């Protein structure tokens, strides 16, 4: 349990307007081992995920540039601050406490993180819609209809060694849900056009992008693909998930902070450097081998500094 006085201090920091130059400096200091700077980064990620999504591009650019040793601190845009309410913080800290118990599976964590959005300012949906519609790599989502559902039979009919069969094998072998979460259960159709399309397509293509981007289905690479999705599409849920993860490790002073922050910075940079995955018609590539799909679209596999299964290796030793 995080002490109450530490919670109140963090809440105050997360409520401040993020300054890109300060975030760049915090990232440099955090990389050098300063624990308070890790907390400052966590507060900035919470702010841009839950209070001011307009700042996310600048916050993540300043963070990855500072952490990776790159120059450049883009200015933080003007936007209305949506205060984080006591009900939000109550849900946020309860989620942190429940994660400490270690009895939540991945889908439960996903639902709980997404549920934090219910406690944010009501203006955020319209603001997030405007950002999604104009994101440089989102491929004009407001003009696109939600894609039809995929089926395992459709994937299984494709040639052995094709992208679709690799996808089918990943789903079947791991007993994954084909589209991660049910779009109707999540009421995605109630979202405005850009958010409806983006969120539906991200759920549908998440495991395809694991394959195309070289992201393993491990704990560390789930963090990596979230940073990739946040960079590529400004994905609101990914920003929320990253904010929760970084806050958790920052406020507990664990040894995992350098690994997690390095992975987020590298995967965020990978997202910006890669072609738009949202613009690719993946269904038209079903019959092609993965290597050919990558070559056609200029995709290289993500390579982080740490082994994808580092957390699993560490857990096996304890």
Whole-number Å distance between alpha carbons of 227 and 242:
7
Residue 116 DSSP symbol: G
Whole-number Å distance between alpha carbons of 108 and 88:
18
pTM (2 d.p.):
0.94
Q: pLDDT by residue for the chain (318 residues), tens digit each? A: 789 999 999 999 999 888 889 999 999 999 999 999 999 999 999 999 999 999 999 999 999 999 999 987 666 666 666 789 999 999 999 999 998 887 778 778 888 998 999 999 998 899 999 999 999 899 999 999 999 999 999 999 999 999 999 999 999 999 998 988 888 888 899 999 999 999 999 999 999 999 999 999 999 999 999 999 999 999 999 999 999 999 999 998 878 999 999 999 999 999 999 999 999 999 999 999 999 999 999 999 999 999 999 999 988 765
Instruction: For 232-254, give one letter per residue: b (16+ CB within 10 A) or e.
Output: bbbbbbbbbbbbbbbbbbbbeee
User: How many Cβ atoms from other residues are within 10 Å of residue 94's Cβ?
Assistant: 11
Tell me how long the chain is. 318
pLDDT for position 268: 97
Percent of the chain with pLDDT over 70: 97
Whole-number Å distance between alpha carbons of 94 and 100:
10
Q: Tens digit of pLDDT for each residue in 77-110?
A: 666 667 899 999 999 999 999 988 877 787 788 8
């Amino acid at each position: 349990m995080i002490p109450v006085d530490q919670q109140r201090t963090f809440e105050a920091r997360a409520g401040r307007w993020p300054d890109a130059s300060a975030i760049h400096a915090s990232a440099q200091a955090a990389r050098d081992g300063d624990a308070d700077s890790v907390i400052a980064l966590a507060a900035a990620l919470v702010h841009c995920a839950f209070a001011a999504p307009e700042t996310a591009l600048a916050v993540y650019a300043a963070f990855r540039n500072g952490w990776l040793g790159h120059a450049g601190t883009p200015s933080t845009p003007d936007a209305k601050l949506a205060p984080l309410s006591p009900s939000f913080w109550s849900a946020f800290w309860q989620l942190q406490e429940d994660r400490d118990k270690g009895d939540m599976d991945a889908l439960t964590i996903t639902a709980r993180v997404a549920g934090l959005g219910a406690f944010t300012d009501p203006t955020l949906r319209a603001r997030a819609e405007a950002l999604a519609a104009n994101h440089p790599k989102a491929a004009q989502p407001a003009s696109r209809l939600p894609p039809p559902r995929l089926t395992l039979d459709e994937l299984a009919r494709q040639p052995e060694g094709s992208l679709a069969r690799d996808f089918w094998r990943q789903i079947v072998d791991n007993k994954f849900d084909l589209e991660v979460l049910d779009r109707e259960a999540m009421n995605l159709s109630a979202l405005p056009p850009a958010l409806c399309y983006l969120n539906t397509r991200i759920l549908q293509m998440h495991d395809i992008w694991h394959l195309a981007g070289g992201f393993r289905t491990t704990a560390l690479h789930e963090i990596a693909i979230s940073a990739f999705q946040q960079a590529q599409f400004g994905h609101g849920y990914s920003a929320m998930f990253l904010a929760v993860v970084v806050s958790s490790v920052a406020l507990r002073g664990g040894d995992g902070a350098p690994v997690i922050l390095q992975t987020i910075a590298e995967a965020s940079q990978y997202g910006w450097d890669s072609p738009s995955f949202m613009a690719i018609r993946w269904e038209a590539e079903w019959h092609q081998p993965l290597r050919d799909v990558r070559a056609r679209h200029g995709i290289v596999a993500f390579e982080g500094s740490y082994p994808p299964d580092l957390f699993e290796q560490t857990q096996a030793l304890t």
